[in-house]
Structure 1
Amino acid sequence: MRKKVFLWNMDNFSMDTKPEEHTNFITDIRFRPNSTQLATSSSDGTVRLWNAAERTGALQNFLGHSSHVTSVDFHPKLTEILCSCDDNGEIRFWTVGQNAASRVSRVKQGGTGRVRFQPRIGKLLAVAAGNTVNMIDIDTDTSLHSQAKVHTSEVNCICWDETGEYLASASQESVKVWSVASGQCIHELRSHGNQYQSCIFHPRYPKVLIVGGYQTVELWSVSDNQRNVVAAHEGLIAALAHSPLTGSIASASHDRWVKLWK
């Protein structure tokens, strides 16, 4: 079932699904800003565009990657632009309605796990590759800071704060918060064996980072380094998402549950 898109209506909590067109696991899913459209990346080497408001199949299938596609994201302002990456370290930029990639680049660190555009302006693209994190200037295709940020194990998740001034990265052993201005790590939270998998900034409290690990969610106040641990699932919490409109938090776990938190 991980090849299929499930849509959960937050007004009436009804569930809908899209046709199973991917032939391998879906690795990432992102909504197009101010739209009912969404994109999925898959281990089948493709990216697909869907409309959540219509009971139809994929609107477009983006082909070109030669390996497993691990992540996808839309530009926050130029919303017809989306970006995808694969486990060979290739990054492709696409335009909705066009079949060929508009640009292809490659990261030196190898297989790429996640890509996330800087919110609001989209000038930077955060790229997680292996145990490194880079901030790429998409106009010049160069790293904002020459030295890649490093964890001691593979980076599982990256996320921006709402302002785009800070970037958080999570690996099993720690979560780090990086300053865009300096490129330096300014806060760090050690997992103490909790196997961190996911992270996201709180939609209402910008100085609070929500971190998903094994069975628990941690609310980490980065300003005073205090954390509150909440029992949440019975497995690894693989993904977190939030609604800026309602302040709700969603968590998805290997225990096959998706939960909504207020």
Structure 2
Amino acid sequence: MQASLWCTNSREIKATFDGHSQAITDIRFSPSMLRIATSSLDKTVRIWDIENVHQLLLNLTSPGCAVRTFTGHTTSVMSIDFHPKKDLICSCDENEIRYWAIKNAGCVKVAKGGANLVRFQSGVAKHIAVVVGKTSICWDSSGERLISVSEDLVKVWRVDSMGKANCVHELSVTGKRFRCGIFHPCYPSLLVIGCYQSMELWNMAENKMMMPIEEPVSALAVSTTSGLIASAGHNDNVVKLWK
């Protein structure tokens, strides 16, 4: 199974990362944007090097180089995330959460209790959000707010310095089935919500949905640098960029 690196300008594949023997479950860029991490049903985590970009600049497709492979999980690895400030990566399966030192490829901590999704707090990185079940989560760029999305409910949480979360906004709309959500990269009061049958904006200040697009969405990602939003459909194998 493989992952692909796309150029958002040319919309061409610039590198491929092939090595997992089963499906990839999660993929994350490092804070420096020079490495990619993937987790897989094959019980491994891999770190891929994209620092050597001379072939990419020549518009050649380059095979990614796996610089680290982490083994130790006894069941499928469901999610991963890079620590924003340390040489550390976190991974989870249904039984435990593992913390790995990237430089020496060693496991430095094992926390009992499984998860389906892990995300380090943006910016200050004092906390980590852990999800059990089908809920989707996403931090804002400041690390002060967290969005959680289940099929019938969207909540926005404000997280204090001690890690206590208070719900500050809540959205529940009859007939909607939510899948994922992100904070808009340019407008802090807007959320982009991916639904089973549409993609919509939620204005938190006015508590209303706006600009529905008939576009079934299974996953969303955002670039705070370019302001681009990426959406993946759940039945057409297509990724789209929005601005």
TM-score, structure 1 length as denominator? 0.82
Matched-pair contact (CA < 8 Å) for 1:85–1:114: yes
Structure 1 residue 101: Cα displacement = 0.8
TM-score, structure 2 length as denominator? 0.88
Partner of 1:137: none
Structure 1 residue 243: Cα displacement = 1.1
Partner of 2:143: 164
Partner of 1:259: 240
- Structure 1 residue matching 2:66: 3-state secondary structure: coil
Residue 229 and residue 190 in structure 1: after superposition, are their counterparts in 2 closer, same or farther (change >3 A)?
farther
Residue 206 and residue 256 in structure 1: after superposition, are their counterparts in 2 closer, same or farther (change >3 A)?
same
In structure 2, what is the Cα distance between the partners aligned to 1:194 and 1:84? Answer: 31
Residue 245 and residue 64 in structure 1: after superposition, are their counterparts in 2 closer, same or farther (change >3 A)?
same
Structure 1 residue 194: Cα displacement = 2.9
**How many matched pairs?**
229
Partner of 1:56: 64
Structure 1 gaps of 5+ residues are 131-153
AA aligned to 1:261 is W
Structure 1 residue 232: Cα displacement = 4.8
Partner of 1:240: 220
Pairing of 1:103-142 with structure 2 (within 5 A): 103-107=109-113, 111-130=114-133
Please, which of 38, 42, 45 is the counterpart of residue 44 of structure 1? 42
Please, which of 83, 91, 94 is the counterpart of residue 84 of structure 1? 91
Residue 68 and residue 206 in structure 1: after superposition, are their counterparts in 2 closer, same or farther (change >3 A)?
same
- 2:96 aligned with 1:96, yes or no? no
AA aligned to 2:98 is R
Matched-pair contact (CA < 8 Å) for 1:198–1:213: yes
Matched-pair contact (CA < 8 Å) for 2:15–2:64: no
Structure 1 residue 195: Cα displacement = 2.4
Please, which of 22, 25, 40 is the counterpart of residue 24 of structure 1? 22
Percent identical residues: 43
Deviating above 3 A after TM superposition, structure 1's stretches of 4 or more consecutive aligned residues are none
Partner of 2:59: none
Structure 1 residue 122: Cα displacement = 0.7
AA aligned to 1:119 is S
Q: How well do the aligned residues superpose, as a CA RMSD in angstroms?
A: 1.6
In structure 1, what is the Cα distance between the partners aligned to 2:211 and 2:39? Answer: 31
Residue 193 and residue 17 in structure 1: after superposition, are their counterparts in 2 closer, same or farther (change >3 A)?
farther
Matched-pair contact (CA < 8 Å) for 1:172–1:191: no
Partner of 2:206: 224
Structure 2 gaps of 5+ residues are 54-61
Partner of 1:187: 169
